[in-house]
């Protein structure tokens, strides 16, 4: 592409402070939350409105330039990487709350809005936005829509798709369209539903209509300290088996506890093999009634200590530990590589055992900190890339975990997405016909394949490999294992 000419045209659309071409400035965009992959865009554009996004996209479409949207860049599957170069459209300047309608329980926001800002805006009136990824102080709602993000509160309240009712989208040809709206059951195909979780490959969301909810009257958080992972896992199953639907059930193993305690001192016992955080919320009487049975289940499963947070400060501190867990890994390892597979909840004990065995086999430590209530694992494989071959080993080990989870009836990813990282694992779950159906829906939105190329579909399906050579090599190695 004629970079200078295109850049000039883009400046005409978004202004000179909204276009970057200088390699120094572009570097910020060469990776996302998964730092092992890198790819540089040719140009970065920072629009301020849907019309500007549409203007930029029209240029891409006319010139057949590949392009990709980026929110906050916290994604963990390389989703926002411009693997074919081209134009990266950063949405962080479109970060307003456009409308809050308490009576109809809806809010309309721009895609670049940071997740937690919405809840902050709603809190004074006693409302909140439920999906709460651990990255919520940084990640954008547009990124959440693209990844169908989850978070600790999903066992009771569901993931992003259950809370998004409508979208304004700039299609890859520059048309601005509306899907869904503020009311339920829009006519025709559920285009909002299929868009959520499309990982930035269908269009650029420029407006998001979400459901907002009344803040629960009461909330209680319990910490259970366990001597074995098995006891903790059985506790999870039995709580649910009692007919209790906790808002959250999170598990952390000893390596995670070590890191968290060094990082933020959340008050988890350093010698615990596993800690469970269980949160129940709802009307006061309901919450009161649930605490007792949960404690009983913990006791029946040999809990060493069970503590109910006595006030809001203690409760927040327990959660701070969980939410800061990824960041705290720096305390015990220079780097980590996180997997995100899901298993049926009943498979927790065998899969945790397997992860332990793989850790021995590869000689790499693993910290497990995950959404136990819905079987969504997050094994953080600790490595140091300064040690020759260690990253490679971490990736191989990750691949073995993913493969095992799928074989146990699970899924490749519960919330982080396929992106670039796991695209070649897709055939583990889906055959050619399944993938062809997905490809058809991709064609519905992006017939020219310009938007976020190189993601989701296995390399073999794409006709020719893309991306920087080093990255390809890493992927190949993982693949041979898978």
Task: Return the residues of window 434-463 that contact ligand FAD according to CB under 6 A.
Answer: 452
Output 227 or 261, the one with its CB closest to ligand FAD.
261
Q: What contacts 211, CB < 8 A, 6 or more positions away?
A: 105, 106, 130, 162, 163, 164, 165
The verdict on 146 binding ligand FAD (CB under 6 A) reads yes
Parallel, antiparallel, or unpaired for β 67-70 and 87-90?
A: parallel
Q: Are 383 and 336 in contact (CB under 8 A)?
A: yes
Can residue 414 be called a binding residue for another protein (CB under 8 A)?
yes
Q: Does 335 bind ligand FAD (CB under 6 A)?
A: no
**Residue 478 parent element (H or E):** helix 469-481
Counting contacts by CB under 8 A, is residue 193 touching another protein?
A: yes
Helix (H, G, I), strand (E, B) or coil at 96: coil
- Burial class from Cβ neighbours inside 10 Å (0-12, 13-18, 19+) for residue 241 reads exposed
How near is the Cβ of 127 to another protein at its closest, in Å? 9
Shortest approach of ligand FAD to residue 89 CB, angstroms?
A: 8
Q: Which is nearer to another protein, 18 or 203 (CB)?
A: 203
Considering only the stretches 38-46, 85-93, 383-391, 417-425, report the one whose residues sit in contact with another protein under the rule CB under 8 A: 417-425
Interface segment toward ligand FAD; rule CB under 6 A; list 62-70, 261-269, 311-319, 397-405: 62-70
Residue from 11, 430, 472, 474 in contact with another protein (CB under 8 A): 430
By CB under 6 A, tell whether 150 contacts ligand FAD.
yes
Q: Is 135 in the site for ligand FAD (CB under 6 A)?
A: yes
By CB under 6 A, residue 422 contacts ligand FAD:
no
Provide the 3-class DSSP secondary structure of residue 462.
helix
As a whole number of angstroms, the distance between CA 237 and CA 219 comes to 21
Q: Check binding of 357 to another protein (CB under 8 A).
A: no
Q: Residue 374 interacts with another protein (CB under 8 A)?
A: yes
Residues 287-326 that bind ligand FAD (CB under 6 A): 326
- Report which of 388, 386, 416, 389 is spatially closest to residue 402, judged by C-alpha positions: 416
418 binds ligand FAD (CB under 6 A): no
* CB-CB contact of 321 with 264 (8 Å): yes
Site for ligand FAD in 205-234 (CB under 6 A): 205
Helices 390-407 + 469-481 axis angle, to 10: 50
Residue 245 CB-density burial (10 A; 0-12 exposed, 13-18 middle, 19+ buried): middle
* Least distance in angstroms from the C-beta of 17 to another protein: 34
Size of the site for ligand FAD (CB under 6 A): 37
Q: Rule CB under 6 A: is residue 70 a binding residue for ligand FAD?
A: yes
CB distance 344 to 374 below 8 Å: no
The Cα 238–Cα 240 span in angstroms is: 5
**Chosen from ligand FAD, another protein, none, partner binding at 433 (C-beta under 5 to 8 Å by type):** another protein
- State the burial class of residue 137 (Cβ atoms within 10 Å of its Cβ: 0-12, 13-18, 19+): middle
Residue 144 Cβ, how far from another protein at the closest point, in Å? 11
Task: Look up residue 464 and give its two tokens.
Answer: 């020719």
CA-nearest of 108, 132, 110 to 119 is 132
> Which of 11, 138, 245, 466: binder of another protein (CB under 8 A)?
245
Q: Which residues bind ligand FAD (CB under 6 A)?
A: 32-33, 68-76, 79-80, 91, 111, 133-135, 139-140, 142-144, 146-147, 149-151, 199-200, 204-205, 326-327, 415-416, 452
């Amino acid at each position: 592409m004629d970079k200078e000419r295109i850049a000039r045209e883009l400046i005409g659309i978004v202004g000179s402070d909204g276009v970057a071409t200088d390699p120094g400035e572009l570097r910020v965009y060469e990776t996302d939350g998964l730092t092992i992959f890198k790819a540089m865009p040719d140009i970065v554009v920072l629009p301020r409105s849907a019309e500007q996004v549409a203007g930029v996209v029209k240029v891409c479409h006319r010139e057949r330039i590949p392009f990709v949207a980026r929110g906050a860049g916290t994604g963990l599957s390389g989703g926002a990487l411009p693997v074919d170069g081209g134009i990266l459209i950063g949405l962080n300047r479109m970060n307003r709350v456009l409308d809050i309608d308490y009576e109809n329980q809806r809010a309309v926001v721009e895609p670049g809005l940071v997740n937690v800002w919405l809840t902050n805006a709603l809190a004074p009136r006693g409302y909140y936005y439920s999906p709460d990824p651990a990255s919520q102080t940084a990640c954008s709602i547009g990124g959440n829509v693209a990844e169908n993000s989850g978070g600790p509160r999903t066992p009771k309240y569901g993931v992003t798709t259950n809370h998004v009712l409508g979208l304004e989208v700039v299609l890859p040809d520059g048309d601005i369209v509306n899907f869904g709206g503020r009311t339920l059951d829009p006519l025709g195909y559920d285009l909002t539903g299929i868009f959520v979780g499309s990982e930035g490959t269908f269009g650029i969301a420029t407006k998001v209509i979400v459901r907002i909810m009344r803040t629960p009257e009461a909330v209680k958080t319990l910490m259970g300290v366990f001597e074995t992972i098995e006891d903790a896992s059985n506790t999870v199953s039995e709580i649910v088996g009692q007919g209790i639907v906790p808002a959250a059930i999170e598990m952390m193993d000893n390596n995670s506890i070590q890191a968290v305690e060094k990082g933020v001192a959340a008050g988890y016992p350093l010698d615990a093999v596993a800690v469970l955080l269980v949160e129940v919320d709802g009307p006061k009487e309901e919450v009161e009634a649930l605490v007792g049975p949960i404690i009983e289940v913990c006791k029946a499963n040999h809990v060493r200590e069970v503590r109910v947070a006595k006030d809001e400060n203690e409760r927040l501190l327990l959660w701070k530990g969980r939410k800061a867990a990824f960041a705290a890994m720096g305390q015990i390892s220079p780097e980590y590589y996180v997997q995100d597979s899901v298993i049926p909840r009943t498979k927790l004990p065998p899969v945790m055992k397997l992860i332990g065995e793989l850790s021995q086999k590869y000689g790499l430590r693993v910290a497990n900190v995950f959404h136990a209530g819905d079987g969504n694992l997050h094994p953080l494989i600790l490595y140091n890339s300064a040690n020759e071959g260690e990253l490679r080993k971490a990736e191989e080990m990750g691949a073995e975990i993913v493969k095992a989870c799928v074989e146990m009836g699970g899924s490749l990813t519960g919330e982080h997405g396929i992106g670039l990282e796991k695209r070649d694992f897709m055939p583990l779950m889906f055959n050619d016909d399944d993938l062809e159906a997905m490809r058809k829906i991709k064609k519905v939105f992006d017939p020219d394949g310009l938007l976020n190329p190189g993601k989701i579909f296995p390399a073999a399906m794409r006709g020719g490999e893309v991306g920087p050579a080093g990255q390809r090599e890493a992927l190949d190695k993982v693949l041979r294992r898978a």
